[in-house]
């Protein structure tokens, strides 16, 4: 099992860190040329900015085309404080970084309500505002900019040399990379990457999607501010010509070319794009053609970027494949709810939901006894999926009441419902496809982690121990549903039936009081159906209450303690399997023909 570098993991991690320190230490000494040292400085701080942008774009899937503005905030803050207030670099740098983070938060809070191209348009507007403000505001020096920005000083008071300044930038860049690696391998990083696949799937396991998107934007902004601070003190002069829209585009291009969502993609992309002006200095008139050609080739032949495409090669994936964990408690998964509600596990009264002039739910009453399997059947369009969506918080009811034990459930988001112990699976499977099977289940444990952001960011012993404990529990859950051997495969590589099992395992990781299975047998082979029945019964035996929505009559009749039937948004019948099979209303609305007595007995067995 891999552990982050701050946790005294394997020797290979420390070897890589030591090798990076050695290379960064020797590069300026070996080159010994002021121009190349300047280029190395630029590469180091632009890598920091690109890495921060990748946390936003590659991890959470949020597009930003205004990072030049956040870069400018860090640069102008430290420049103004250094030149006008006479404060040292060690005071102005943290101020510039902090202000960039605050500006990122101020931008993210309203703009992340938008999605896709609309979010990109908001960030473009911010970038243009930052460029225009820096060009026209006298406080920033207008088009003339700010000059005579002092370089950092050493403890003795002497100014840093170019080589020493590179070592400072490179050291911070390495630290930023290690911290990003800590996040990437922790609960925070898994949560970020889950958001890219499916917001609603993240919500139903308890993740506050909006909060985590804002957090990703703030982290990305802080990284941009770090790069801006180092840029300002590099040459001692800044003006608005640097913070243009094309700079934001080049940062995004570096992320995509290197490979978004990877730890080393931003490094590769930064090196390629930022060395082009140096290597092809004599072809400056054609640099846009060169940029465009590189981007075009990458999109056509390497759609996942250079590093991302390498990871798709079979031999590369085999070499970097993790060894499956072995859980000694694999046969005893821990998913029972912490406390059971009194009375009915779930009771709903006169629940109504309309879409325009169509009433999907019309005064539905339902009481589910704790520790039972409650089946829900009915023809297509009867309101079954709408009911599940209302109970899980995806939709809000127009009227009616919902009680979970003694607790009244006012209209809440899916993440809040998960905190109350209500979660679900989906008729159309919603997995975090790019994550491993194991990580999908680990995301399900989101609400149970006790270590906060900073412990994960710094990978303290408590965070490492907690991570290891939940990995063992996740492996146990995967073994319980019969896919333990696929733990380190990507979720999207599983066959359909195993994806169904994975979605159930992820839902069990929430430790729900009420688990709703929306057509779990859809697409499941006959051989897998008996395993599914076994799993459903074992979940009930552990004390979890289930609401199963299903068209597969063999399954619903054999596992259900009680069955309710919906038709046109109303409950038309409720009872045991035998009673439902013989009910004239159910036969007319759904079954279509009476069931023979022998079949009724078998169904109720």
Q: Would you give the DSSP letter of residue 593?
A: S
Residue 339 contacts residue 333 (beta carbons within 8 Å): no
- Judge whether 302 lies within some domain: no
Cβ–Cβ contacts within 10 Å for residue 73, how many? 25
Q: What is the pLDDT of residues 17-56, one digit of tens each?
A: 888 999 999 988 888 888 889 999 999 999 999 999 999 9
Q: How much is the pLDDT for 338?
A: 58
**Cα–Cα distance for residue pair 462/214, rounded to 1 Å:** 25
CA–CA dist 40, 27 (Å, integer): 9
pLDDT, tens digit (0-9, with 9 covering 90-100), for 190-245: 999 999 888 999 999 999 999 999 999 999 999 999 999 999 999 899 998 889 99
Provide the CA 78 distance to its chain's centre, in angstroms. 33
Residue after which a domain boundary falls, among 511, 532, 564: 511
Q: Is residue 9 part of a domain?
A: yes
Do 190 and 94 share a domain, yes or no? yes
Given 463, 480, 511, the domain boundary residue is 511
276 exposure class (CB count in 10 Å sphere: 0-12, 13-18, 19+): middle
Asked whether residue 33 falls in the same domain as residue 150, the answer is: yes
Quick one: what percent of the chain has pLDDT higher than 90? 56
pLDDT of residue 339: 53
Together in a domain, 417 and 547: yes
Q: In this structure, is residue 214 part of a structural domain? A: yes
Rounded (5°) CA angle 367-370-376: 50
> Do 401 and 533 belong together in one domain?
yes
Whether pLDDT at 318 is above 60: no
Query: CB atoms < 10 A from the CB of 486, how many?
Result: 20
The band of 314, judged by pLDDT with boundaries at 50, 70 and 90, is: low
Q: Say if residue 174 is in the same domain as residue 66.
A: yes
pLDDT value of position 600: 41
Shared-domain flag, residues 380 and 442: no
CA of 274: how far to CAs of 18, 47, 238, 289, 564, in Å?
A: 25, 10, 19, 15, 64
Specify the pLDDT at position 605.
32
- 273 or 21, which is more confident: 21
pLDDT per residue as tens digits for the range 406-454: 788 877 889 999 998 899 999 999 999 989 999 999 999 999 999 989 9
Quick check: 319 pLDDT over 80?
no
Return the closest-CA partner of residue 186 out of 492, 431, 465. Answer: 465
Q: Which of 178-182, 197-201, 306-310 has the lowest mean pLDDT?
A: 306-310
pLDDT beyond 70 at 155: yes
Cβ neighbours of residue 112 closer than 8 Å, sequence gap 6 or more: 62, 119, 210, 213, 214, 217
pLDDT tens-digit map of 76-125: 999 999 999 999 999 999 999 999 999 999 999 888 777 767 888 889 99
Residue 10 has pLDDT above 60, yes or no: no
Q: Both 210 and 95 in a single domain?
A: yes
pLDDT at 592 exceeding the cut of 80:
no
For residue 267, pLDDT beyond 70: yes
Q: Are residues 503 and 559 in the same domain?
A: no
Q: What is the pLDDT of residues 157-179, one digit of tens each?
A: 889 999 999 999 999 999 999 99
One domain for residues 369 and 480: no
Same domain, 361 and 393: yes
User: What's the domain range around 204?
Assistant: 5-245
Contact between residue 254 and residue 45 where contact means Cβ atoms under 8 Å apart: no
For residue 595, pLDDT over 60 is answered with no
Residue 314 falls within a domain, yes or no?
Answer: no
As a whole number, the mean pLDDT across the chain is 86
Q: Assign residue 379 the CATH number of its domain.
A: 3.40.50.300
SS3 content of the chain, % helix, strand, coil (to 5): 60, 10, 30
Q: Do 99 and 214 sit in the same domain of this protein?
A: yes
Q: Are residues 393 and 468 in the same domain?
A: no
What is the structure's pLDDT at 562?
94
pLDDT higher at 519 or 597: 519
Residue 329 in any domain: the answer is no
Within 8 A by CB and 6+ apart from 214, the residues are 105, 108, 109, 112
> Per DSSP, what are the bridge partners of residue 547?
374, 516
**Of the listed ranges 47-56, 280-289, 540-549, the one predicted with least confidence:** 280-289
Q: Tens digit of pLDDT for each residue in 324-372?
A: 454 444 445 667 675 544 445 789 999 999 998 889 999 999 999 998 9
Q: Is 337 within a domain?
A: no
Mean pLDDT along residues 472-486: 93
Local confidence band at 317 (pLDDT 50, 70, 90 cut-offs) = low
Distance CA 550, CA 25 (A): 63
Domain assignment of residue 416, yes or no = yes
Question: Has residue 121 been placed in a domain?
Answer: yes
Q: Which of 245, 263, 293 is the last residue of a domain?
A: 245
CB count in 10 Å sphere of residue 69: 31
Query: Of residues 65 and 597, which shows the higher confidence score?
Result: 65
The pLDDT > 70 percentage for the chain reads: 89
Partners of residue 424 on adjacent β-strands = 516
Number of domains into which the chain is organized: 3
Lowest average pLDDT, out of 9-23, 323-337, 480-494, goes to 323-337
pLDDT score, position 5: 40
């Amino acid at each position: 099992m891999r552990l982050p570098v701050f946790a005294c993991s394997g020797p290979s991690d420390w070897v890589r860190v030591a090798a990076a320190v050695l290379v960064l230490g020797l590069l300026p000494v070996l080159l010994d040329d002021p121009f190349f040292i300047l280029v190395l400085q630029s590469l180091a701080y632009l890598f920091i900015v690109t890495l921060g942008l990748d946390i936003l774009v590659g991890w959470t899937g949020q597009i930003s085309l205004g990072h030049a503005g956040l870069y400018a905030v860090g640069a102008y803050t430290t420049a103004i404080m250094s030149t006008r207030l006479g404060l040292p670099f060690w005071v102005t740098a943290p101020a510039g970084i902090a202000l960039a983070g605050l500006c990122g938060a101020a931008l993210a809070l309203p703009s992340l309500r938008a999605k896709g191209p609309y979010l990109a348009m908001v960030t473009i507007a911010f970038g243009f505002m930052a460029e225009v403000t820096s060009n026209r505001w006298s406080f920033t020096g207008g088009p003339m900019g700010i000059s005579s920005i002092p370089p950092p000083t050493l403890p003795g008071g002497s100014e840093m040399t170019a080589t020493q300044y590179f070592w400072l930038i490179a050291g911070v860049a390495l630290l930023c990379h290690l911290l990003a690696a800590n996040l990437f391998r922790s609960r925070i990083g898994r949560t970020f990457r889950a958001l890219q696949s499916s917001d609603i799937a993240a919500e139903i396991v308890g993740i506050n999607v909006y909060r985590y998107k804002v957090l990703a934007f703030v982290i990305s902004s802080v990284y941009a501010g770090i790069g801006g601070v180092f840029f300002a003190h590099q040459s001692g002069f800044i003006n608005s010509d640097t913070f243009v829209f094309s700079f934001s585009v080049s940062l995004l291009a570096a992320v995509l070319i290197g490979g978004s969502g990877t730890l080393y993609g931003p490094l590769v992309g930064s090196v390629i794009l930022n060395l082009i002006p140096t290597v092809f200095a004599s072809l400056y008139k054609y640099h846009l053609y060169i940029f465009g050609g590189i981007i075009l080739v990458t999109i056509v032949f390497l759609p996942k970027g250079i590093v991302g495409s390498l990871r798709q090669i079979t031999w590369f994936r085999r070499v970097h494949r993790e060894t499956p964990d072995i859980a000694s408690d694999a046969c005893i998964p821990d998913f029972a709810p912490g406390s059971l509600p009194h009375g009915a596990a779930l009771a709903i009264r006169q629940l109504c939901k309309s879409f325009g002039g169509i009433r999907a739910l019309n005064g539905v009453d339902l009481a589910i006894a704790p520790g039972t399997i409650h089946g829900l059947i009915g023809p297509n369009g009867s309101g079954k999926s709408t009911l599940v969506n209302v109970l899980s918080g995806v939709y809000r009811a127009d009227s009616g009441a919902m009680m979970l034990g003694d607790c009244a459930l006012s209209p809440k988001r899916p993440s809040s419902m998960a905190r109350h112990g209500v979660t679900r699976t989906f008729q159309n499977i919603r997995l975090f496809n790019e994550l491993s099977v194991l990580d999908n289940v680990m995301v399900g444990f989101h609400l149970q982690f006790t270590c906060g952001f900073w412990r994960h960011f710094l990978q303290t012993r408590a965070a490492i121990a907690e991570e290891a404990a939940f990995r063992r529990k996740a492996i146990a859950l995967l073994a319980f549903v019969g896919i333990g051997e696929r733990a380190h495969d990507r979720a999207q590589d599983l066959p359909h039936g195993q994806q169904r099992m994975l979605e159930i395992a992820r839902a069990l990781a929430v430790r729900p009081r009420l688990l709703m299975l929306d057509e779990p047998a859809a697409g499941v082979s006959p051989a897998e159906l008996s395993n599914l029945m076994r799993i459903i019964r074992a979940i009930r035996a552990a004390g979890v209450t289930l609401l199963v929505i299903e068209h597969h009559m063999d399954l619903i009749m054999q596992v259900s303690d009680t069955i309710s039937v919906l038709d046109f948004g109303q409950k038309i019948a409720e009872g045991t399997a035998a009673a439902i099979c013989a009910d004239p209303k159910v036969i007319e609305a759904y079954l279509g023909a009476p069931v023979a007595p022998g079949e009724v007995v078998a169904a109720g067995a």
